[in-house]
Amino acid sequence: MSTIPLTKLGAQLLKEELQRLKHVERPAVINAISEARAQGDLSENAEYDAAKEKQGFIEGRIQDLESKLAAAQIIDPASLDVNGQVVFGATVDLEDLENGTKFTYQIVGDDEADIAVNKISISSPIARALIGKEEGDVVKVQAPGGNREVEILAVRYI
């Protein structure tokens, strides 16, 4: 199995989700199944069916998280020494050269990506275009609206 890159924060969030699933969600669904069984006939018991379905989802997610954490390569962006290059975990300030819009992204693992908080996946087209570049470089990025040119204004490791 190949390694899965995760930032230190991303790994911590996955560990917290795993703990919540194991120690809160799993016992709650086991209790719900037990209560539904106590109601009698299981063949027409919607609560039992719903609880069993939820249990299957929880168990699947637990296995998924345990697998990802076992294969994780945890990278602390603050400890990187890469002479200003864009690498996994870097926070990059960019400017769209066509319209002057400035934006910031952090390059993270697939499981951490969340565009709402400016975290983009290492496998996204923009991240792949930025990797290895430095402050001041102009990069052509393939975007949904067509090709764009962006300038790297700053590269930070936080």
What does the pLDDT profile of the chain (158 residues) look like in tens digits? Answer: 588 999 999 999 999 999 999 999 999 999 999 988 888 777 778 889 999 999 999 999 999 999 999 999 999 988 887 888 999 999 999 999 999 999 999 999 998 999 999 999 999 999 999 999 999 999 999 877 788 999 999 999 98
Same-domain status, 54 and 83: no
Distances (CA, A) of 61 to 1, 15, 20: 18, 12, 11
Bridge pairing between strands 138-143 and 146-156:
antiparallel
Same-domain status, 70 and 81: no
Same-domain status, 82 and 133: yes
Distance CA 45, CA 143 (A): 49
Same-domain status, 58 and 129: no
- DSSP structure class, residue 134: B
Same-domain status, 90 and 58: no
Distance CA 53, CA 38 (A): 18
Please tell me the predicted confidence (pLDDT) of residue 1.
Answer: 57
Backbone angles phi, psi at 111, to 5 degrees: -75, -15
Same-domain status, 70 and 109: no
- pTM for the full predicted model: 0.82
Distance CA 106, CA 34 (A): 45
Please tell me the predicted confidence (pLDDT) of residue 69.
Answer: 95
Q: What is the CATH number of the domain that holds 52?
A: 1.10.287.180
Distances (CA, A) of 94 to 16, 66, 154, 155: 32, 35, 7, 9
Same-domain status, 84 and 137: yes
Please tell me the predicted confidence (pLDDT) of residue 65.
Answer: 96
